[in-house]
Amino acid sequence: MQLTFSIHSAGAWSPNYQELTDWQAWPDKTETEDLKLAVPKLPQVPTMQRRRYSKLTKMLLDVAFQCEAPANCRTIFASRHGELNRTVDLLQEIIQNQPISPIGFSQSVHNTASGIFSILTDNRAPSTSIAAAQITLEQALIEAYGQLCEDNSSLLLVYGDEPVADIYKAYTHEPELPIALALQLSLDNPEAAGAMGLTIDTQPEASEQENTPQIGYGELLHAIASKQLLHGRLNQFIWQITP
Protein backbone atom coordinates (compact mmCIF):
# COMPACT_ATOMS: atom_id res chain seq x y z
CA MET A 1 0.00 0.00 0.00
CA GLN A 2 1.30 3.43 -0.91
CA LEU A 3 0.65 6.40 1.37
CA THR A 4 1.07 9.75 -0.38
CA PHE A 5 1.31 13.07 1.44
CA SER A 6 2.13 16.71 0.88
CA ILE A 7 4.69 18.19 3.30
CA HIS A 8 3.78 21.85 3.91
CA SER A 9 6.46 22.60 6.49
CA ALA A 10 9.05 20.69 8.49
CA GLY A 11 11.31 20.96 11.50
CA ALA A 12 14.33 18.92 12.54
CA TRP A 13 16.80 18.83 15.42
CA SER A 14 19.91 16.93 16.41
CA PRO A 15 22.95 18.12 18.37
CA ASN A 16 24.84 18.79 15.11
CA TYR A 17 21.95 20.15 13.03
CA GLN A 18 19.61 22.13 15.22
CA GLU A 19 17.32 23.66 12.58
CA LEU A 20 15.92 22.32 9.34
CA THR A 21 18.17 24.55 7.22
CA ASP A 22 21.24 23.13 9.01
CA TRP A 23 20.42 19.74 7.48
CA GLN A 24 21.27 21.10 4.04
CA ALA A 25 24.94 20.73 5.09
CA TRP A 26 24.55 17.11 6.24
CA PRO A 27 26.83 15.14 6.68
CA ASP A 28 29.67 17.66 6.62
CA LYS A 29 29.52 18.98 10.18
CA THR A 30 32.07 17.67 12.70
CA GLU A 31 30.68 16.54 16.02
CA THR A 32 32.30 18.01 19.13
CA GLU A 33 31.89 17.26 22.83
CA ASP A 34 29.97 20.53 23.28
CA LEU A 35 27.53 19.57 20.54
CA LYS A 36 26.94 16.15 22.09
CA LEU A 37 25.55 17.91 25.17
CA ALA A 38 23.45 20.40 23.21
CA VAL A 39 19.80 20.92 24.20
CA PRO A 40 17.18 22.99 22.32
CA LYS A 41 16.98 26.54 23.67
CA LEU A 42 13.18 26.94 23.27
CA PRO A 43 13.01 30.75 23.48
CA GLN A 44 9.20 30.49 23.13
CA VAL A 45 8.95 29.05 26.66
CA PRO A 46 9.61 30.96 29.94
CA THR A 47 12.82 29.87 31.62
CA MET A 48 11.16 28.58 34.80
CA GLN A 49 8.93 26.27 32.78
CA ARG A 50 11.62 25.23 30.31
CA ARG A 51 14.07 24.08 32.97
CA ARG A 52 11.56 21.44 34.15
CA TYR A 53 11.37 19.69 30.79
CA SER A 54 13.43 16.65 29.82
CA LYS A 55 15.77 16.83 26.84
CA LEU A 56 13.35 14.73 24.77
CA THR A 57 10.43 17.04 25.54
CA LYS A 58 12.53 20.05 24.52
CA MET A 59 13.50 18.32 21.27
CA LEU A 60 9.91 17.52 20.36
CA LEU A 61 8.65 20.99 21.26
CA ASP A 62 11.45 22.63 19.29
CA VAL A 63 10.70 20.84 16.02
CA ALA A 64 6.96 21.36 16.50
CA PHE A 65 7.52 25.11 16.84
CA GLN A 66 9.80 25.09 13.77
CA CYS A 67 6.85 23.90 11.67
CA GLU A 68 4.72 26.95 12.48
CA ALA A 69 1.58 24.86 11.99
CA PRO A 70 -1.87 26.49 12.04
CA ALA A 71 -3.47 27.05 15.42
CA ASN A 72 -5.53 24.17 16.77
CA CYS A 73 -4.36 21.66 14.18
CA ARG A 74 -4.42 17.98 15.13
CA THR A 75 -1.17 16.47 16.37
CA ILE A 76 0.48 13.07 16.45
CA PHE A 77 3.46 12.68 18.80
CA ALA A 78 5.55 9.56 18.21
CA SER A 79 8.49 8.16 20.16
CA ARG A 80 9.79 4.64 20.57
CA HIS A 81 11.23 5.18 24.04
CA GLY A 82 9.34 8.25 25.22
CA GLU A 83 10.33 9.49 28.67
CA LEU A 84 12.13 6.25 29.51
CA ASN A 85 15.23 8.00 30.84
CA ARG A 86 13.17 10.12 33.23
CA THR A 87 11.38 6.98 34.43
CA VAL A 88 14.73 5.26 35.05
CA ASP A 89 15.81 8.25 37.17
CA LEU A 90 12.61 7.97 39.22
CA LEU A 91 13.20 4.26 39.78
CA GLN A 92 16.74 4.99 40.94
CA GLU A 93 15.34 7.48 43.46
CA ILE A 94 12.98 4.80 44.78
CA ILE A 95 15.84 2.30 45.11
CA GLN A 96 17.84 4.89 47.05
CA ASN A 97 14.86 5.71 49.30
CA GLN A 98 14.86 9.27 48.02
CA PRO A 99 11.68 11.35 47.63
CA ILE A 100 10.31 11.34 44.09
CA SER A 101 10.05 14.66 42.28
CA PRO A 102 6.36 15.46 41.65
CA ILE A 103 7.29 17.27 38.44
CA GLY A 104 9.46 14.36 37.31
CA PHE A 105 6.65 11.94 38.04
CA SER A 106 4.00 13.99 36.24
CA GLN A 107 6.24 14.33 33.16
CA SER A 108 7.33 10.70 32.95
CA VAL A 109 4.36 9.59 30.83
CA HIS A 110 4.67 8.84 27.13
CA ASN A 111 2.50 11.76 26.00
CA THR A 112 4.34 14.40 28.06
CA ALA A 113 5.39 16.50 25.06
CA SER A 114 1.92 16.27 23.53
CA GLY A 115 0.28 17.60 26.68
CA ILE A 116 2.82 20.38 27.18
CA PHE A 117 2.55 21.46 23.53
CA SER A 118 -1.22 21.69 23.78
CA ILE A 119 -0.93 23.85 26.94
CA LEU A 120 1.75 26.16 25.52
CA THR A 121 -0.17 26.74 22.27
CA ASP A 122 -3.71 26.53 23.71
CA ASN A 123 -4.31 23.77 21.18
CA ARG A 124 -7.55 21.93 21.95
CA ALA A 125 -7.56 19.73 18.86
CA PRO A 126 -7.20 15.94 19.22
CA SER A 127 -3.71 14.56 19.83
CA THR A 128 -2.49 10.98 19.45
CA SER A 129 0.62 9.33 20.93
CA ILE A 130 2.34 6.48 19.05
CA ALA A 131 5.00 3.96 20.14
CA ALA A 132 5.78 1.07 17.79
CA ALA A 133 9.36 -0.10 18.37
CA GLN A 134 11.71 0.44 15.40
CA ILE A 135 8.91 1.44 13.02
CA THR A 136 7.41 4.14 15.26
CA LEU A 137 7.81 6.89 12.64
CA GLU A 138 6.22 4.79 9.92
CA GLN A 139 3.31 3.78 12.16
CA ALA A 140 2.77 7.44 13.01
CA LEU A 141 2.53 8.18 9.28
CA ILE A 142 0.01 5.37 8.86
CA GLU A 143 -2.03 6.93 11.68
CA ALA A 144 -1.71 10.33 10.00
CA TYR A 145 -2.92 8.90 6.69
CA GLY A 146 -6.00 7.41 8.34
CA GLN A 147 -6.86 10.68 10.05
CA LEU A 148 -6.33 12.71 6.88
CA CYS A 149 -8.58 10.39 4.89
CA GLU A 150 -11.39 11.40 7.25
CA ASP A 151 -10.43 15.09 7.43
CA ASN A 152 -7.77 16.58 5.17
CA SER A 153 -7.22 19.72 7.25
CA SER A 154 -3.74 20.40 8.65
CA LEU A 155 -2.08 17.75 10.80
CA LEU A 156 1.23 18.03 12.66
CA LEU A 157 3.31 14.88 13.11
CA VAL A 158 6.16 15.07 15.64
CA TYR A 159 8.70 12.27 16.10
CA GLY A 160 11.78 11.98 18.28
CA ASP A 161 13.97 9.81 20.48
CA GLU A 162 17.18 10.03 22.45
CA PRO A 163 19.63 7.28 23.48
CA VAL A 164 18.34 5.03 26.24
CA ALA A 165 19.91 4.80 29.71
CA ASP A 166 22.95 2.54 30.05
CA ILE A 167 20.92 -0.22 31.67
CA TYR A 168 18.96 -0.68 28.41
CA LYS A 169 21.69 -0.12 25.82
CA ALA A 170 22.36 -3.85 25.43
CA TYR A 171 18.85 -4.28 24.04
CA THR A 172 18.81 -1.61 21.34
CA HIS A 173 21.09 -0.23 18.62
CA GLU A 174 20.14 3.20 17.32
CA PRO A 175 23.28 5.13 16.34
CA GLU A 176 21.41 8.10 14.83
CA LEU A 177 19.91 9.29 18.12
CA PRO A 178 19.19 11.83 19.54
CA ILE A 179 17.01 13.16 16.74
CA ALA A 180 13.63 14.82 16.31
CA LEU A 181 11.58 15.84 13.30
CA ALA A 182 8.18 17.34 12.64
CA LEU A 183 6.07 17.40 9.48
CA GLN A 184 2.97 19.43 8.72
CA LEU A 185 1.02 17.10 6.44
CA SER A 186 -2.02 16.77 4.27
CA LEU A 187 -2.98 14.17 1.70
CA ASP A 188 -1.20 14.56 -1.63
CA ASN A 189 -2.08 17.91 -3.18
CA PRO A 190 0.07 18.77 -6.23
CA GLU A 191 -1.44 22.27 -6.31
CA ALA A 192 -0.25 23.20 -2.81
CA ALA A 193 2.29 26.00 -3.24
CA GLY A 194 5.75 25.11 -1.98
CA ALA A 195 4.75 21.64 -0.76
CA MET A 196 6.92 18.56 -1.24
CA GLY A 197 5.61 15.11 -1.99
CA LEU A 198 6.16 12.18 0.37
CA THR A 199 5.28 8.63 -0.62
CA ILE A 200 5.74 5.55 1.56
CA ASP A 201 5.27 2.02 0.31
CA THR A 202 4.28 0.00 3.37
CA GLN A 203 4.30 -3.41 1.63
CA PRO A 204 7.04 -3.44 -1.01
CA GLU A 205 7.93 -6.62 -2.85
CA ALA A 206 11.00 -8.46 -1.56
CA SER A 207 12.84 -7.78 -4.81
CA GLU A 208 12.15 -4.03 -4.52
CA GLN A 209 13.48 -4.00 -0.97
CA GLU A 210 16.67 -5.72 -2.11
CA ASN A 211 17.19 -3.31 -5.01
CA THR A 212 16.45 -0.10 -3.08
CA PRO A 213 19.37 1.59 -1.28
CA GLN A 214 19.12 1.80 2.48
CA ILE A 215 18.87 5.28 3.99
CA GLY A 216 18.85 6.75 7.48
CA TYR A 217 17.29 9.78 9.11
CA GLY A 218 20.21 11.88 7.90
CA GLU A 219 19.49 11.23 4.22
CA LEU A 220 15.77 11.75 4.78
CA LEU A 221 16.15 15.09 6.55
CA HIS A 222 18.81 16.29 4.13
CA ALA A 223 16.42 15.64 1.22
CA ILE A 224 13.56 17.50 2.94
CA ALA A 225 15.76 20.45 3.95
CA SER A 226 17.37 20.69 0.51
CA LYS A 227 14.16 19.89 -1.41
CA GLN A 228 15.90 17.11 -3.28
CA LEU A 229 14.60 13.91 -4.80
CA LEU A 230 15.09 10.86 -2.58
CA HIS A 231 14.29 7.18 -3.05
CA GLY A 232 15.39 4.72 -0.40
CA ARG A 233 14.57 2.04 2.15
CA LEU A 234 14.19 3.02 5.80
CA ASN A 235 13.44 -0.02 7.96
CA GLN A 236 11.28 -2.25 5.70
CA PHE A 237 9.46 0.65 4.03
CA ILE A 238 10.28 2.39 0.73
CA TRP A 239 10.38 6.18 1.01
CA GLN A 240 10.27 8.74 -1.77
CA ILE A 241 10.61 12.52 -1.52
CA THR A 242 9.67 14.63 -4.55
CA PRO A 243 10.38 18.39 -4.55
Q: Can you give the pLDDT at residue 58?
A: 97
Q: Can you give the pLDDT at residue 33?
A: 57
| Position 30 confidence tier, pLDDT thresholds 50, 70, 90 | low
pLDDT tens digits along 108-131:
898 999 999 999 999 999 999 999
Indicate whether 55 pLDDT > 70: yes
Indicate whether 231 pLDDT > 80: yes
Indicate whether 174 pLDDT > 70: yes
Rg of the chain taking only CA atoms, in angstroms: 18
More confident residue, 58 or 171: 58
| Residue/partner pairs of 120-128 with CB below 8 Å, 24 or more apart | 120/44, 120/45, 120/61, 121/71, 122/71, 123/71, 123/72, 123/73, 123/75, 124/72, 125/72, 125/73, 125/74, 125/75, 126/74, 126/75, 127/74, 127/75, 127/76, 127/77, 128/74, 128/75, 128/76, 128/77
**147 vs 187: CA distance, rounded Å:** 10
Q: Can you give the pLDDT at residue 100?
A: 83
DSSP β-ladder status, 127-130 and 74-78? parallel
Mean pLDDT of 211-228: 96
Reduce the DSSP state of residue 197 to 3 states and report it: strand
Is the pTM above the cut of 0.85? yes
Indicate whether 10 pLDDT > 60: yes
